[in-house]
Amino acid sequence: MSTSRTKRWRAPLASVSVFVGLWYGLAYSLDNNFASSDGSALIVPPPHKLFEGLNTRTVERIATATGISVATAFTGLIIAV
């Protein structure tokens, strides 16, 4: 990698790392954040727990909902312009 390319990625990677680190810190520092019976997060889930229930059907539903949101946003933009 060239030096300019490395410099270009340094700040975004540092920002994402700090954000994820703070997210983990918050998730594990809150009192009573995890249920005692099954260990599931009650208030703020850690980042790695967000993708546990993701399957094909869920991804399809998310993609459909995102498509509807994008179409609605563009319709509003066209009407506004």
pLDDT in the model for residue 1: 54
Range of the structural domain that residue 61 is part of: 53-81
Same domain flag for 4 and 38? yes
pLDDT in the model for residue 2: 64
Query: What's the CA gap between 54 and 50, in Å, rounded?
Result: 8
Q: Which residues pair with 34 in a beta bridge?
A: 41
> What pTM was computed for the model?
0.62
pLDDT in the model for residue 4: 82
pLDDT in the model for residue 72: 98
Same domain flag for 30 and 65? no
Same domain flag for 36 and 63? no
End-to-end Cα spacing for the chain: 43
Show the low-confidence residues of the chain (pLDDT under 50).
none
pLDDT in the model for residue 18: 98
pLDDT in the model for residue 22: 97
